[in-house]
Structure 1
Amino acid sequence: MVTDLHNKISNCFLCTRCCVIALLITVTAVINGSSRQKRWKMSWKQDEPKVIDDEMLQQAIVEQGPQGQAGKIAKKEGIQYEEVFQLRLDFRNILKIYHLWHFTSLTKLQLNNNVIERIEGLENLTNLIWLDLSFNNIDVIEGLDSLVKLQDLSLFNNRISVIENLDTLQNLHILSIGNNAIAQLDNVLYLRKFKNLRTLNLAGNPICDEENFKIFVAAFLPDLVYLDYRLLDEQTRETGLVKYHFALEDMKQNESQEQKAIEAQKISNEELQLHKDAFVEFLNGAQLFDSMFAEDPDAEKLALLPGMEALLEIFKSKMEPLCVQIFDAGLAQLAGRTAEVDSFFTCSHEAVAESQRKAAQTLADFENSRRQKTVEMQQIADTKLLEAHITSCHEQADQFSETLMSLELQLVDQLEDIFKDFERNISDMVGGFIEYVQGIFALCRNLENQHHEQQLEIALETLEKVVKNEIEEEIPDDLAMLLVDKDTVTNAVNASHDTHLLKIDNREDELLTRIKSWMSGLLKSIHNNEVERNRKRISEIRNYISFVKNELEDMTS
C-alpha cells in the first residue's frame, strides 16, 4: 500500500521538499491508520493521559541531545530550556500542553500522536517555525496567535471542522489539515489571506467529496502550488478561473475595498499611537472642548439661552488653537526626546563595545601566554620547579583579573557620566515641556472662567425678563425648567462651570502624570540594566579566573 502511494506521489512531479513532506504525511497516515490503532489501544488502556511536566521535558531533551561523554557533560552542566531549538514530544499520551513557556528559542516542536484536545500553552514560543499537532483530538484551531514566524503547520488527523484563528500566521507556507471534519468550501476562501501559502493538504475531509472541489481551490487560491500531495496543473487552474470568473471578480473587488479600509485604519492607528507617545492624543482639534460639554448634563439646556450660540462659537474658536499648541509642542517634544534617547543608547553601546574590544584583546594575549606556559609546565618533572611556575601563573591570573576589573570599572565610570548627562538633558526637556503645557492649560481655564461669567450674566438677564414677562419668543420647555428662580439657574450655570474645569484639570493631570511616569520608568530601566550588566560582567571575570586557577591546581594533583 505504501509503495502504491509512493508511486502516485512520484508521478505528480513534486519538488524534492514537497515530495518529502508528502511522503512523511502519507506514510504516517498509513502506518498510524493501522499499526498505531493496534499498538495504542493496548498501551493507552494501561496509561493515563498525561500533562507535560518538567520530568517529561528533561527526559525528552536528554534523549534527543548529545550522547556519550558529550551528553554526560551537558547533563552535568544542566539543561537550559531557553537554549533548546528542537523538541520532540510525540507518542507520549499527552492530554494537556503545559510547561513550555521557557522554550523561547524553540523553532521546531513535535506534539503529534498524542491525545491533545486543546491548542494552548504555546504563547511564548514566538520563534517557532515548524509545528506538528497531527494525530490528536483537537476540535478547534486556537492558541496560535503569537506564532507569527510559523511556516509549516500540521493539524492532520484531528476533529477540526472550521479553518479559523490563523490570521496572524502570514508566513504560513505549508498547511496540512487532512483527515479532519471540514465540510464547507468557505474554509478555502478563508485561506485567501495567506499569500505565502504554497502547499495545502485537505485530503480525507468531507469537503473533498464536493464535485468541483479541486477547481474551486485552484481558482480561489491562485498562489497555491500543491494540493493534496499533487501539483496543481494549469489546466485545472484555467478551468476554475473560467467557472468562477464572476464570483472571483466580485470577491477581488470586495477584498480591495477591505484592504483599503484596513490600510486606512492602520495609518490611523499608527498616527494615534504617535500622538499617545507624545501624550497629546485628541488635542489636535476641538476634542477637549467638545468633551467638556458632552459630559455636562445642563449644557444643551443652557445653550438655548439667547445669544449663547454665538458665545459658544467664540469660546470654541479661542479654545481650539490653545489645544493645538499643546499638540504641536507635544510632537516636537517627542522628536527631541527620541533623538536624545537614541543618542544616549548609541554612546552607551559604543562605550561598551570599545571596552569589550579591549578586554577581548587582553584575553587573547593572556590565553596565548597561558597555553604556552601550560605546555612548558607539562614538560617539567621537578616538583618544586613546577610549583614555582604554578605560583607564577597564579600571580599572572590575579594580575589579569585586576586588568579586566580595571577595564570594567573604567566602563562603569564612563557609562555613569553618559547617564548623568542624559538624565540632566531629558529632565530639562521634560521640565520645559511641562511648564509650557501648564501655561497653556491655565489659559484654557481662563477662557472657561470668562465663558462662565458671560453665561451667568445672560442667564440672569433672561430670568429677569421672564419674571417681568418681557420675553417675546416662546421659551423651550427644557430651558423653562432652569428659569424658575435665581438659585436654580445660578446652580445650573455653576455646575456646568465645575464640569468644564474638571475636564480641563483631568486632561492636564493625565498628560503630566504620563510623561513623568515615562521619564522615571526610562531612567529606572537604564539604571537597572546597567547594574545587571555590571554584575554579569564581574561574574564572568571571576568564573574565568576560577577556571584558570582550577586548571593550575589540577596540574599538581
Structure 2
Amino acid sequence: MSRLYDTVEPAVIDEEMLKKAVEEQGPKEEAGKIAKQEGIDFKDVLSLRLDFLNVLKIDNLWEFTALTKLQLDNNIIEKIEGLDELVNLVWLDLSFNNIEVLDGLDALTKLEDLTLYSNRISTIENMDNLLNLHVLSLGRNNLSELENLRYLRRFKKLKTLNLSDNPFCKQDEYKQYVIAFLSNLDFLDYRLIDQQSREAAIERYQVSRDEMLHNEKQAELKKEEEIKRMKGLELHKAAYVEMMDGPDLFDQMYREDVEGQKLSEMPEKFVAVCSQIFDFGLVEHKKREEEVKQFWECVEEAKQENKEIGMKAIDNFTNMKKKVLQELAQISDQKMLEQRVSEYNKQITELWDHLMGLELQLVDQLEEVIKDFERNMQDLVSSFIENIQAYLTQCRDLENIHHEKMTENSIVILEKAMKNELDDEISEDLRLLLVDKDTIINALSSSHDVHMLKIDNKEDDIVTRINNWLKGMMENIHQDEEIARNRMRVSEVNNMIDHLRDEIDNLEMMQGGNY
C-alpha cells in the first residue's frame, strides 16, 4: 500500500528523535519547562508515540524498560525487532507497516493488546509467549489458510480478534470456522458473536472440533507426563542416582563393548542392586534436605531472637533519649549541660557495647550451629558414600561371577565347536569368536575390563558430585552468607551510633551558642 511519505528518506530512531518525542508527549506549560530543564529519564517513560515518522527499523528503545504503551503505526517497518527490553509493554501498535514475518515478540509476556493491521503477514506464528493477549488485530494482511487460525487457540484470554480484509475472508465458511475453533472469542471483526451464531458454527464443525479437542487433550497429557518425568529426573540427579532404577548401568557396560554384546545375558541380580541404589539414594536425599531445612530454621530463629533483644534495647534507649533531649533544652548552665551531655554519650557507648555484644554472641552461636550442621552433613554424606560403594562392590562381585560363568560356558562352547557339535542357531558374530581359546579369553577379558570401568566411573561420578555439593554449600555458608550478614549488622550499629553522637553534638553546639 502506498503512503504519501514513501518518497521521504527513511528515518532512524536515534536519541534526538526519542528526546523530541518524549518532550512533545510529556507535561506541558510550566511543568513541561521544568521537565525539559531537568531532563526526562527514558527509564521512567510509560507511553511513547513514534507514528508517522517514516521509521524503517525499530532501534535504540532499550532504555524504555518501564514502557507500557508503544505506538509505531504508519511507518515503513519491515521487521519486528529491538523490543526485547520492553518487558512491561501492555499495548503495541504496529499497524500500517511493511512487516512480513511475525517474530521478535518473545520477551513481551505482559502484552495484552497487539495491532498489526495492514501489513504483509501471511502466517500466524512465533507468538507462543504472549499468553496474556486479550486483543489482536491482523486485518488487511496476506492470511489465506484458515487452518493457520488454530494457532490462536493457545491464547485462552483472547476475546477480541480482527481478521477482516484477509484473503481467507472471501471463503463462505470463514466466520463459522473462526467461531467454531476459537470458542473463547467474544468479538470477531468488530462484531459481538451471538449465541445463535456460536451454536451453529459448533454444530457445523462438530466432528472436526471433537477430533481437535481429543488431540489437544492427548498432547496436554503427554506434556504433563514429560514435565513429571523431568521433575523426577531432577530429583534423581539431586539424589545422585539418576538412571539407576533399571538396567541403564548394565546397558552402559555393554553399549561400548562390541565383543561383550555377542556374549551378554541380562543378570537380574545386577539390575536389582541398581534398584536398591536408586531407592537408597532417594531416602538419603530426603534426609539431607531435612537436615538443611532444620539448619536454616535454626539460623533464622537465632537471628530473630537476637534481633528482638537488640530492638528492645534500642526502643528503651529511644524513650530515654526523648526525655534527655527535653531536659537538655531546659538547661542554661554550660557546666551542667556539658555534664549531662557527657552522661548521655556514656549511655550511647553502653548501647554500642550492648549491641556489639549481642552481635558477637550471635556470631558465636551461629558458628556453633554451623559446626554441628557441618558435622551432621559430613556424617550423612560419608554414610551415603560408604553404602553406595558397598552396593557397587556387589555390582563388581556380580560382574566377576558373571565373567567367570561366561568364561566357563565359552570354553565348553569352544570345545563343542572344535568337535562340530554346535547348534546351527548360534549367531555368526559368536562363531567368529570361537576360533581358539586365546581369542575367546581375550574377548571376555576385554569385555570384563569395560564393565568394571563403567562401574568405577559410576562410583567416581556419585562420590565426586556429592562431595562437591557439600563443599560448595559449606563454603557458601561460611564465606558468603554469614560474613555478609555480620558486616551488614556491624555497619548498621555503627551508623546508628554515629547518628546519635552527631545528633547530640549538634544540639550541644546550638545550646552552647544560645548560652
State the match for 1:530 in structure 2. 482
Q: Equivalents in 2 of 1:294, 1:501: separation in Å? A: 13
Residues 296-315 of structure 1: CA distance to partner in whole angstroms, max 9, x if unpaired? 11133335xxxxxxxx35xx
Question: 3-state DSSP class of the match of 1:427?
Answer: helix
State the match for 1:30 in structure 2. none
The question of 1:424 aligning with 2:375 is answered yes
CA-CA distance at 1:449 after TM superposition:
1.3
Q: Equivalents in 1 of 2:344, 2:70: separation in Å? A: 50
- Quote the RMSD (CA, aligned, Å): 4.6
State the match for 1:262 in structure 2. 223
State the match for 1:48 in structure 2. 12
Q: Equivalents in 1 of 2:64, 2:357: separation in Å? A: 36
| Residue from 471, 477, 480 that aligns with 2:421 | 471
The question of 1:274 aligning with 2:235 is answered yes
Aligned partners of 1:207 and 1:213 also within 8 Å: yes
CA-CA distance at 1:234 after TM superposition:
1.8
5 Å matches for 1:110-189? 110=70, 112=72, 117-119=79-81, 122=84, 125=87, 128=88, 130=90, 132=92, 134=94, 140-142=101-103, 150=110, 152-157=112-117, 160-175=121-136, 181-189=142-150
**Relative to structure 1, is the Cα distance of residues 391 and 301 closer, same or farther in structure 2, using a 3 angstrom cutoff?**
same
Aligned partners of 2:64 and 2:85 also within 8 Å: no
Q: Equivalents in 1 of 2:354, 2:396: separation in Å? A: 62
State the match for 2:513 in structure 1. none
Aligned partners of 1:272 and 1:281 also within 8 Å: yes
State the match for 2:276 in structure 1. 325
Q: Equivalents in 2 of 1:399, 1:206: separation in Å? A: 84
5 Å matches for 1:123-522? 125=87, 128=88, 130=90, 132=92, 134=94, 140-142=101-103, 150=110, 152-157=112-117, 160-175=121-136, 181-202=142-163, 211-303=172-264, 312-313=265-266, 316-367=267-318, 397-467=348-418, 469-474=419-424, 476-522=427-473
Q: Equivalents in 1 of 2:345, 2:162: separation in Å? A: 65
Q: Equivalents in 1 of 2:6, 2:161: separation in Å? A: 30
Residues 495-552 of structure 1: CA distance to partner in whole angstroms, max 9, x if unpaired? 1111111221122222222222222222233331232233333334444445555556
Residues 106-148 of structure 1: CA distance to partner in whole angstroms, max 9, x if unpaired? 69464756969444674895xx473536457765455655666
Q: Equivalents in 2 of 1:64, 1:366: separation in Å? A: 49
Q: Which amino acid aligns with 1:132?
A: L
CA-CA distance at 1:101 after TM superposition:
9.8
5 Å matches for 1:9-28? none
CA-CA distance at 1:192 after TM superposition:
1.5
Q: Equivalents in 2 of 1:456, 1:196: separation in Å? A: 68
| Greater alpha carbon shift after TM alignment, 409-418 vs 155-164 | 155-164
Q: Equivalents in 2 of 1:124, 1:413: separation in Å? A: 48
Residues 318-354 of structure 1: CA distance to partner in whole angstroms, max 9, x if unpaired? 1011111101101111111121122222222233333
Unmatched runs of 5 consecutive residues or more in structure 2? 511-515
Q: Equivalents in 1 of 2:149, 2:248: separation in Å? A: 44
| Greater alpha carbon shift after TM alignment, 197-206 vs 240-249 | 197-206
Aligned partners of 2:260 and 2:443 also within 8 Å: no
| Structure of greater Rg | 2
Aligned partners of 1:401 and 1:541 also within 8 Å: yes
CA-CA distance at 1:454 after TM superposition:
2.1
Q: Equivalents in 2 of 1:102, 1:388: separation in Å? A: 58
Question: 3-state DSSP class of the match of 1:346?
Answer: helix
Instruction: State how many pairs are aligned.
Output: 492
CA-CA distance at 1:453 after TM superposition:
1.9
Q: Equivalents in 1 of 2:323, 2:170: separation in Å? A: 75
Q: Equivalents in 1 of 2:125, 2:144: separation in Å? A: 14
**Relative to structure 1, is the Cα distance of residues 388 and 206 closer, same or farther in structure 2, using a 3 angstrom cutoff?**
farther
Q: Equivalents in 2 of 1:499, 1:250: separation in Å? A: 51
Question: 3-state DSSP class of the match of 1:154?
Answer: strand
Q: Which amino acid aligns with 2:374?
A: E
Unmatched runs of 5 consecutive residues or more in structure 1? 1-32, 304-311
Residues 387-425 of structure 1: CA distance to partner in whole angstroms, max 9, x if unpaired? 877776665555544444333333333332222222222
Q: Which amino acid aligns with 1:531?
A: I
Q: Which amino acid aligns with 1:258?
A: A
- TM-score in terms of structure 1 length: 0.72
Q: Equivalents in 2 of 1:203, 1:381: separation in Å? A: 87
- TM-score in terms of structure 2 length: 0.77
| Greater alpha carbon shift after TM alignment, 92-101 vs 188-197 | 92-101
